Amino acid sequence: MAFHVDARLPTASDDPVPQPAIVDAEGRVYGHTRPLGPAVIDPIIQEYNSSGNPGQFKVIYDGAYAHIVPAGVLEGGRLVPFEPILSTEIAVDMPEGTCWDLLNGLVDEVQQARKVGIMLWAVPVSSWDPDRCSISGHNLPARDVLLQLLGQIGKHGRTGSPAEDKLKLPEERYAWGLVYEPTSDAYSLWIDSVHNAEEERKPKVLPAPARPPSPGPSIEQLLMSPVPGATPVKKK
């Protein structure tokens, strides 16, 4: 379905950072893209839920994250409430280990609690990765455990060295999807890196241009200059 959401903010005349602008059919000028927050996401969810399409969704806002999760599913022609898979509370049987092992432990606990199958597809760690992670707390929603793991995985490789500070490398951030596959009667979990919008909005400071090298002697000056160590010849 097509969503009718205005994704741009009006361009302010006193904006210190000029932005590319577009003009709509009514002559309004727009520039800045709206932050991906409630002002954009909530109307999308409301429009879908009132569209007559199957299922219902809701948004869980948690710090810098917005989790779009199913709130109702059709069973026997009726819409019944549904607890999102990652809202499942797990005991956190393995609080420390490699990030790969903890991610698999999270999936295993959710599978056992909800009696569903979950397949890992694109994830930012592997069984060959020795980096270690830890989980703080017990009896947590699976979503909170996943957030803790991704926060630590995103920091790996950032040693805080002067070279990294000079490059201003940001921590990796991730988005993910947990999608039900009816053909396999299982869920697929994929995780992908995303751009850090806050870093992109920071003004870029360009280095001062290098001073051009001073011009060297011309060919004529080189030809007329005496050879070092030679006695000048005087013409009469």
DSSP 5-52: ---EEEPPTT-SS----EE-TTS-EEEEEPPSSHHHHHHHHHHHHTTT
Query: What's the DSSP call for residue 218?
Result: -
**Per-residue pLDDT band at 204 (split at 50, 70, 90):** very low
Do 176 and 191 meet the contact criterion of CB atoms below 8 Å apart? yes
Of 3.55.50.30, 3.40.1160.10, 3.40.47.10, 3.40.50.300, the CATH number of 85-197 is: 3.55.50.30
Least confident of 79-88, 164-173, 183-192: 164-173
For residue 149 the two structure tokens come to 């793991």
Strands 173-181 and 186-194, bridge-based pairing: antiparallel
CA separation for the pair 149, 96 (Å, rounded)? 11
For the entire predicted model, the pTM comes to: 0.69
Query: What's the DSSP call for residue 229?
Result: T
**CA end-to-end span of the chain:** 98
pLDDT score of 142 more than 80? yes
Radius of gyration of the chain (CA): 30
Mean pLDDT value of segment 18-41? 67
Ordered by start, the domain boundaries in the chain are 31-82, 85-197
pLDDT score of 178 more than 90? yes
pLDDT score of 94 more than 60? yes
User: What separation in angstroms does the CA of 139 have from each of 22, 62, 112?
Assistant: 50, 18, 14
**Per-residue pLDDT band at 9 (split at 50, 70, 90):** low
Neighbours of 103 (CB within 10 A): 23
Mean pLDDT value of segment 143-154? 94
Question: CA angle 47-48-52, nearest 5°?
Answer: 110
Count of alpha carbons within 13 angstroms of residue 49, beta-carbon side: 17
Least confident of 103-107, 139-143, 175-179, 209-213: 209-213
Mean pLDDT value of segment 200-208? 48
The fraction of the chain above a pLDDT of 70, given in percent, is 65
pLDDT of residue 64: 84
Query: What's the DSSP call for residue 228?
Result: T
